[in-house]
Structure 1
Amino acid sequence: MDTFRKYITPGTEADAKQPDWGISILNVGHYIHPAGKKYPDAVHPDAYFFDYSKGRVLSEYQLVYIASGTGTFEAEFIGKVDVQPGTIFFLYPGIWHRFKPDEKNGWSEYWVGFGGSYANHLMKQDCFSAEHPLIYMGFNAEFINIFIQLIDTIKFDGMGSNQLAGCLTIQLLGLVYASALLKLQSSSRKAQIINNIKYSIHENLNSDISPEKLAEKHNVSYAWFRKSFKEITGQSPGQYQLNLKIQKAAKMLLETDLGISDIAYQNGFESEYYFSRLFKSKMSLSPSRYRKEFLNRQVNNSI
């Protein structure tokens, strides 16, 4: 698709003839910024041009979709983040921001700037916030097609074009909203599966069930399970299982008279030596020293 950009001045005679539907389109564009060229290019109007070192503040909403290429984005509530193809970021009125493509890659961007009472209502929905302005959509043919219709509508500037453009922008926002909800549901589903697996680990702590068996039992691949488990808990499945065993063994050392070899065996460790080495690495004390210090504290407290 050819590059295109148009900036619409609210309150002009042509604009005044069209009824207010609560969402006004202020600018629309598609631009392919080549590698090695300074960003933004000089064609930006003064009100939109910005020096990257200083950033920019707008008085409108903008939806920006990076169709290809890579870059960075930074705003008032978030630090600098990498932007990959398929990323959408929102610019909010009165919120400082800056962004640019990587010099060696450039990028292709679609954008629409908008405002109005209904726009304010839409942008207050749960999935949209200035604190979390980036949403990853990936490649979406329907989304691109609507953007192309939006650009064509503004380009040919027929009767009711702003209202039609407003409807198309609402469709874009609806697709972004649906994409964000699906991502949340996916995350929720992922957390549910991992929580079920964590429960299985607790239930099978003595049997030393392998992570591979746990994944198979819950109908997920081991690669997905390992990655998702660490993402949610911050630990690998093996480390999580080991930490639980060490915690249980520590409790048994303090609450029972069982020998260390028996405690090691009951918690699925292959030998007393192996158990003692792992216990010391986690608790900074050997099992016998851990038990002795606890007993000494009890004696001292009773005096």
Structure 2
Amino acid sequence: MENYWKYFSGDNENWGIKLITCGYEQINRNAEYPVKAHPDSHLFSWEEGRTLPDYYIIYIPTGGGIFESETGQTEVKPGDAIIINKEEWHRYKPHKNLGWEEYWLGFKGEYIESYVLKDLFPNNITHIKAMGYQTDIIALFNHVLRLVGTPTKLMEKVLFGSLIQLISHFTIEDRVKINTNRHEYIVQSSIDYIRQNITNQIDYKKMSERFNLSYSQFRLTFKKATGTSLNQFLIAERIGLARRLLHNTDMEIGEVANRVGINSVFYFSKLYKQKTGKSPSHDRRNQMTV
């Protein structure tokens, strides 16, 4: 199984929240989308779109694509969340040349209707929320996925708290600010571009030309702001993606390396241990305790 998801048909409602589905996918460049293994109730085509009877959050840490609802069409960037209102037509897909990584939740319930809905949908419509790349959101999604993979009575109680915590992140104001400083704009735009193209080959010299900077000026600007070089930042981002793939899928290590844009399994394993302190196989075996 290259991706992980779970759909619930029974009565799992606790304290006013019913979890409909949750999951994780990493859609490679030029891959078919959506993945056909989903239930018919959640499959859709770009041509027709779909409506759903419940509320959904789709969070995109890396890659990029396009989203359209009844109010218009919007680009989806790294760190964006698609917040879907029930019974509202919509469609979305990653760009073929980028692919994307997605986490999602589908949910409903009295607690949501009473306490969360007005903050989750301030204008009562499906929309894109610019959350930015947030490791705490990713950690919470991973935690929820681990919980639903171990169904026990204790899990149900812990899951309720985790769902409230996760959904609450998406009820606050957008985290992405407009940078008025040119250097801040250059660095943030570069980070966004790297996360959009995380599995592609990136030409840093062409990136520098986008900002009318020499290559050396561009490298210095980025390193001064982030404390790391462009290439080391890309490596760290790829290892972060690889870790999520190891924890949330059962891909072979060689496939994980290929998915994150590293062709050599030996080199990938070496980088992975340097960045995480663990080998890829050891990290996968111990993921439940991470």
- 1:244-294, Cα deviation, whole Å (9 max, x unpaired): xxxxxxxxxxxxxxxxxxxxxxxxxxxxxxxxxxxxxxxxxxxxxxxxxxx
After TM superposition, the score normalised by the length of structure 1 is 0.55
Give the counterpart of 1:120 among 110, 113, 120: 113
Give the counterpart of 1:104 among 87, 97, 108: 97
Contact 1:8-1:26 at 8 Å conserved across structures: yes
Tell me the equivalent position of 1:87: 80
Given residue 112 of structure 1, which amino acid in structure 2 is its aligned partner?
L
Given residue 131 of structure 2, which amino acid in structure 1 is its aligned partner?
M
For structure 2, the 5+ residue unaligned runs are 185-290
TM-superposed deviation, 1:118: 0.7
Q: Matched residues in 1 for 2:35 and 2:88: separation?
A: 22
Please state if 1:33 is matched with 2:27: yes
Q: Matched residues in 1 for 2:19 and 2:48: separation?
A: 26
Given residue 134 of structure 1, which amino acid in structure 2 is its aligned partner?
I
- 1:126-163, Cα deviation, whole Å (9 max, x unpaired): 45244352111111111111111000000111214334
- 1:205-245, Cα deviation, whole Å (9 max, x unpaired): xxxxxxxxxxxxxxx86999xxxxxxxxxxxxxxxxxxxxx
TM-superposed deviation, 1:24: 1.1
Tell me the equivalent position of 1:146: 140
Contact 2:62-2:101 at 8 Å conserved across structures: yes
Q: Percent identity?
A: 27
Secondary structure class of the residue paired with 1:69: coil
Secondary structure class of the residue paired with 2:103: strand
Contact 1:32-1:109 at 8 Å conserved across structures: yes
Tell me the equivalent position of 2:128: 134
After TM superposition, the score normalised by the length of structure 2 is 0.57
- 1:185-224, Cα deviation, whole Å (9 max, x unpaired): x68xx9xxxxxxxxxxxxxxxxxxxxxxxxxxxxx86999
Q: Matched residues in 2 for 1:99 and 1:150: separation?
A: 24
**1:64-75 pair list within 5 angstroms:** 64-75=58-69
Given residue 77 of structure 2, which amino acid in structure 1 is its aligned partner?
Q
Tell me the equivalent position of 2:9: 9
Given residue 95 of structure 2, which amino acid in structure 1 is its aligned partner?
D
What's the RMSD between the two structures over aligned residues?
2.5
Q: Which has the higher helix share?
A: 1
Contact 1:25-1:162 at 8 Å conserved across structures: no
Larger-gyration structure (1/2)? 1
Q: Matched residues in 2 for 1:7 and 1:222: separation?
A: 45
Tell me the equivalent position of 1:52: 46
The higher relative CO (CA closer than 8 Å, separation ≥ 6) is in 2
Cα distance change of structure 1 residues 37 and 22 upon mapping to structure 2, 3 Å threshold: same
